[in-house]
C-alpha cells in the first residue's frame, strides 16, 4: 500500500515529485482496476497535477456520492448516468485547495445504501470489499492510491476499511462537510477518510482540514474501555480474538483496560437507528421514488416504502432516544480515554451479493462519536480483521492518536 506519510516526506525531501507520485498512481490504476473495479470514473488524462500545497502529490479517490465538476457523478445508480454537476462538493474543493490531485471517482453502492457494486476485495476477489464506500477502501488497499474520501450512514467507512485491511476514520459528526453529497439520512450521513494506516489517515485528515489531527506519538491512552455489548455474540471467534489481542497489547504497554458494559440507553439507540435512517431516506429520496421507482433496486425501493410508513411521532420518539444515547455515550468517557470494540462481525464475507453487516458501527454513527478502524490483524484464512477505536465526541485527535499507538503495538 502507499503511505501518505512517506509520500509527503519524500516529496518534502526532494526524493520524489508530486507529478511523479500521481503518475505512478495512474499507472497502478491502469494496470489493476480492470480486475478490481474500484473506480467509476477517472480525471481527464491532461488534468494538471498541483505541485504546491500540504497535500501536493497525494492522489485522492472520491466516493461517487460527492459532486465533482470535472467528472460524472452518478451516485451508483443508472438514474444519474452521465450526470455532470457544475461544482465540486465542499470536501472535494477542500482537497483541491490543499494541493491534492482528485484522480477519480470511487464506486459506491446505489445511493450509498446496500445494493453492492461490482468492486471486489483486493485480498480475495471472491469476498466483498464492504460498502457503501467499497471503491474507496479497495483502491487504497490495492495500492492504487494513498488516500480516499468516503461516507458512513451505518458502517460504510469502518466496515469496508476492516474488510480491506486499511485505516478508516469516521470523524465526529459534522467535523467535515457533507454538502454536495447525495443525502440519504441527514442526521447520520458522515464524511470519512481512508488511508493505509492510522498514522496516514490522521495526517491526511490534518492536511485536508487544517486541524490538529495528526497522530501524537506521545499521546498514548492511559485508560481503555473494552466495550461489552449483547451483540458481541454476533462476532466471529477470530474477531473477538483480535479485540482481545489488541486489549492485551495495550495492557502490556501500560494502559489500564477496563471492561465497560453497554448502557441500556445505547442498546436501545442501536435498535432505533433504522427508524431514523429510513424515515429520513424516504424524504431525501422522495423524487427518485416518485419518478424512478422502477430504476431502484428492490432492497432500496422496499426500504424507502417502509420509511414512508413511519409516522412522524415514531420518528420523533426515536430522535429522543438518540439524544439520550448521545448523553450516555459522552458519560462513558468520564473514566476512560477511548473504547475498543470490533469493527465488523468478522472478516469480509465470501459473498459478492452482500456488503456485510453494520451491526458494530451504526450505534456510533448515531451518537456521532469519532471512530477509527485499526488494521493489521487477520482471521485464520488470512483475511483482514480490524478493531475499532471509539473516542469521545469532539476528541478526534485523541482518538486518532490512540489508534496510531495501538497500531504500533500490533506491529503495523
Cell numbers 461544482 correspond to 87
Of 209, 185, 204, 183, which is closest to residue 193 (Cα–Cα)? 204
Are residues 99 and 55 in contact, defined by beta-carbon separation less than 8 angstroms? yes
Longest dimension (CA), the chain: 61
Of 45, 31, 64, which is closest to residue 143 (Cα–Cα)? 31
- Positive/negative CA dihedral, 120, 122, 127, 132: negative
Are residues 200 and 167 in contact, defined by beta-carbon separation less than 8 angstroms? yes
End-to-end CA distance of the chain: give it in Å, rounded.
Answer: 12
42, three cell numbers: 477517472
Q: How many CB atoms lie within 10 A of CB 252?
A: 10
393, three cell numbers: 465526541
How far CA 269 is from CA of 251, 298, 321, in Å, comes to 30, 27, 6
What's the number of CA atoms in the CB half-sphere (13 Å) around residue 113?
24
Active site residues: 63, 132, 156
CA distance 232 to 80: 39
Q: Could you give phi then psi for residue 298, rounded to 5 degrees? A: -55, -40
302, three cell numbers: 422496499
Amino acid at each position: 500500500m502507499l503511505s501518505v506519510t512517506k509520500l509527503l516526506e519524500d516529496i518534502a525531501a526532494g526524493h520524489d515529485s508530486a507529478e511523479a507520485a500521481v503518475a505512478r498512481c495512474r499507472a497502478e490504476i491502469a494496470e489493476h482496476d480492470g480486475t478490481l473495479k474500484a473506480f467509476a470514473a477517472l480525471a481527464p488524462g491532461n488534468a494538471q497535477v498541483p505541485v504546491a500545497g500540504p497535500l501536493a502529490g497525494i492522489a485522492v479517490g472520491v466516493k461517487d456520492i460527492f459532486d465533482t465538476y470535472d467528472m460524472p457523478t452518478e451516485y451508483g445508480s443508472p438514474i444519474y448516468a452521465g450526470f455532470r454537476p457544475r461544482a465540486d462538493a465542499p470536501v472535494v474543493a477542500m482537497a483541491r485547495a490543499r494541493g491534492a490531485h482528485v484522480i477519480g471517482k470511487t464506486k459506491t453502492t446505489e445511493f450509498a445504501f446496500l445494493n453492492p457494486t461490482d468492486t471486489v476485495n483486493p485480498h480475495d476477489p471472491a469476498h466483498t470489499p464492504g460498502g457503501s464506500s467499497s471503491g474507496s477502501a479497495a483502491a487504497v488497499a490495492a495500492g492504487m492510491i494513498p488516500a480516499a474520501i468516503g461516507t458512513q450512514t451505518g458502517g460504510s467507512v469502518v466496515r469496508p476499511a476492516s474488510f480491506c485491511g486499511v485505516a478508516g476514520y469516521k470523524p465526529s459528526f459534522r467535523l467535515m462537510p457533507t454538502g454536495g453529497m447525495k443525502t440519504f439520512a441527514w442526521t447520520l450521513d458522515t464524511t470519512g477518510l481512508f488511508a493505509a494506516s492510522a498514522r496516514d489517515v490522521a495526517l491526511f485528515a490534518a492536511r485536508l482540514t487544517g486541524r490538529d489531527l495528526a497522530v501524537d506519538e506521545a499521546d498514548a491512552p492511559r485508560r481503555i474501555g473494552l466495550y461489552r455489548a449483547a451483540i458481541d455474540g454476533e462476532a466471529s471467534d477470530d474477531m473477538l480474538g483480535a479485540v482481545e489481542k489488541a486489549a492485551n497489547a495495550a495492557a502490556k504497554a501500560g494502559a489500564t483496560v477496563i471492561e465497560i458494559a453497554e448502557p441500556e440507553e445505547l442498546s436501545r439507540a442501536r435498535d432505533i437507528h433504522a427508524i431514523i435512517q429510513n424515515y429520513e431516506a424516504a424524504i431525501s429520496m422522495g423524487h427518485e421514488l416518485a419518478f424512478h421507482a422502477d430504476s431502484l433496486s428492490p432492497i432500496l425501493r422496499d426500504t424507502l416504502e417502509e420509511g414512508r410508513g413511519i409516522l412522524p411521532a415514531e420518528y420523533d420518539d426515536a430522535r429522543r432516544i438518540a439524544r439520550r444515547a448521545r448523553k450516555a455515550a459522552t458519560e462513558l468517557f468520564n473514566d476512560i480515554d477511548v473504547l475498543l470494540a470490533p469493527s465488523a462481525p468478522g472478516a469480509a464475507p465470501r459473498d459478492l451479493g452482500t456488503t456485510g453487516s453494520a451491526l458494530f458501527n451504526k450505534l456510533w454513527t448515531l451518537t456521532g462519536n469519532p471512530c477509527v478502524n485499526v488494521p493489521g490483524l487477520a482471521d485464520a484464512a488470512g483475511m483482514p480483521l480490524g478493531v475499532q477505536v471509539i473516542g469521545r465526541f469532539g476528541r478526534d485527535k485523541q482518538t486518532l492518536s490512540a489508534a496510531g499507538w495501538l497500531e504500533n503495538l500490533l506491529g503495523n
